[in-house]
């Protein structure tokens, strides 16, 4: 399904990024006003616009577009949406604002990784946004959506330009990549498996752990993941993420491991954790499902240990 209607006026929209269940973004509706949290890519925009049309919501009713950070699976569609939603204001971390006004550096960096053809397949066009429509959000700052408060907290660890958005009405965090990833195949009858995202190039384990503690300090009941969907919050999940971050760093402290070997060690470690949820799962299938995240996590850890060595 492209849309999943949650409670408290929130709809989860699959972002059409990679495969179904890989990434999503959210529409929040409150007394005739709307906010869009995360954007997906330019390929995601038609899904939101179709949903607005289906619900009889005028473009002018969308007040805010809110990417948690400027990685292109979270913010790549912002320019396309802002062009289609003329009354909207883009709310973004201060460190990410200039990249939304001029995304050329983001695009160039991504093309170096993916190549031009795959970049276009994944992200399409990344349009610039008029700087006058961009509002940088300070730590602790709030906005009101028809009287519904949204609070912005800077959360380092995954990226320097990352914030999470607290919605008191749902007692939920829109967590971007800060509360890890938990795809549909990570949800088991015995519980939900969540793994951290340590992708290049700004992973900071101490900041990551501090951000997890910040999220836990609120009366949180649920987390709205970008990868993927609503997740019931628990202290156990937060503690599991913290333990994994610490284990990742311990694994990466072995300087004899190149990136490929580091990826293998991370995969083996994650498979052992997954086996606690389902010991009968097919190992080859799980390795395949973990491959992209483990590759990116290993690359992020490699950048982190190089930075630490040069400090």
Q: What's the rounded Cα separation, in Å, for the pair 164 and 68? A: 6
pLDDT band at 301 (very low <50, low <70, confident <90, very high): very high
**In the chain, domain spans:** 1-92+95-136, 149-311
Pair of tokens at residue 192: 């939900």
pLDDT band at 115 (very low <50, low <70, confident <90, very high): confident
Give the pLDDT confidence score for residue 127 in this predicted structure.
94
Is the pLDDT reported for residue 1 higher than 70? no
For every residue of the chain, which 3-state class applies, written as one string? CCEEECCCCEEEEECCCCCCCCCEEEEEEECCEEEEECCCCCCCHHHHHHHHHHCCCCHHHEEEEECCCCCHHHHCCHHHHHHHCCCCEEEECCCCHHHHHCCHHHHHHHHHHHCHHHHHHHHCCCCCCCHHHEEECCCCCEEEECCEEEEEEECCCCCCCCEEEEECCCCEEEEECCCCECCHHHEECCEECCECCCCCCCCCHHHHHHHHHHHHCCCCCEEEECCCEEEECCHHHHHHHHHHHHHHHHHHCCCCCCHHHHHHHHHHHHHHHHHCCCCCCCHHHHHHHHHHHHHHHHHHHHHHHHHHHHC
Give the pLDDT confidence score for residue 50 in this predicted structure.
95
Pair of tokens at residue 91: 């709310």
Give the pLDDT confidence score for residue 37 in this predicted structure.
98
Please state which architecture CATH assigns to domain 1-92+95-136.
4-Layer Sandwich (3.60)
Q: pTM of this prediction?
A: 0.95
Q: What angle (nearest 5°) sits at the alpha carbon of residue 105, between those of residues 99 and 108?
A: 140
Is the pLDDT reported for residue 172 higher than 60? yes
Compute the mean pLDDT over every residue in the chain, rounded to the nearest whole number.
Answer: 95
Which of 146, 135, 183, 140 has the alpha carbon at shortest distance from 165? 140
Give the pLDDT confidence score for residue 308 in this predicted structure.
87
Are the C-beta atoms of 21 and 235 separated by less than 8 Å? no
Give the pLDDT confidence score for residue 311 in this predicted structure.
75
Fold matches, 1-92+95-136 and 149-311: yes
Please state which architecture CATH assigns to domain 149-311.
4-Layer Sandwich (3.60)
Torsion of CA 199, 293, 216, 152, to 10 degrees: 50
Q: Express each pLDDT in 15-57 by its tens digit.
A: 999 888 899 999 999 999 999 999 999 999 999 999 999 999 9
**Backbone Cα Rg of the chain:** 19
């Amino acid at each position: 399904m492209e849309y999943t209607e949650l409670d408290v006026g929130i709809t989860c929209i699959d972002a059409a990024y990679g495969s179904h269940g890989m990434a999503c973004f959210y529409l929040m509706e409150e007394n005739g006003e709307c906010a869009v949290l995360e954007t997906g890519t330019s390929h995601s925009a038609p899904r939101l616009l179709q949903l607005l049309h289906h619900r009889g919501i005028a473009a002018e009713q969308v007040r805010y577009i809110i990417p948690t950070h400027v990685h292109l699976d979270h913010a790549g569609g912002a320019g396309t949406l802002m062009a289609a939603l003329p009354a909207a204001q883009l709310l973004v971390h201060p460190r990410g604002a200039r990249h939304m006004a001029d995304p050329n550096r983001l695009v160039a960096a991504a093309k170096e990784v993916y190549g031009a053809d795959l970049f276009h397949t994944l992200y399409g066009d990344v349009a610039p946004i008029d700087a006058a429509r961009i509002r940088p959000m300070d730590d602790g700052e709030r906005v009101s959506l028809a009287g519904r408060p949204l609070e912005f907290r800077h959360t380092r660890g995954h990226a320097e330009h990352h914030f999470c958005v607290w919605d008191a009405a749902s007692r939920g965090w829109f967590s971007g990549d800060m509360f890890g990833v938990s795809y549909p195949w990570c949800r088991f009858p015995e519980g939900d498996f969540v793994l951290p995202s340590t992708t290049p190039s700004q992973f900071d384990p101490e900041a990551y752990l501090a951000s997890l503690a910040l999220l836990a300090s609120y009366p949180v009941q649920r987390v709205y993941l970008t990868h993927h969907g609503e997740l019931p919050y628990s202290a156990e999940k937060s503690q599991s993420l913290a333990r994994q971050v610490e284990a990742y760093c311990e694994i990466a402290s072995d300087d004899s491991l190149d990136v490929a070997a580091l990826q293998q060690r991370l995969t083996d470690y994650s498979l052992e954790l997954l086996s606690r949820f389902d010991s009968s799962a097919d190992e080859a299938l799980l390795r395949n499902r973990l491959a992209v995240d483990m590759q990116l996590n290993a690359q992020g850890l490699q950048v982190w240990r190089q930075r630490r060595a040069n400090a």
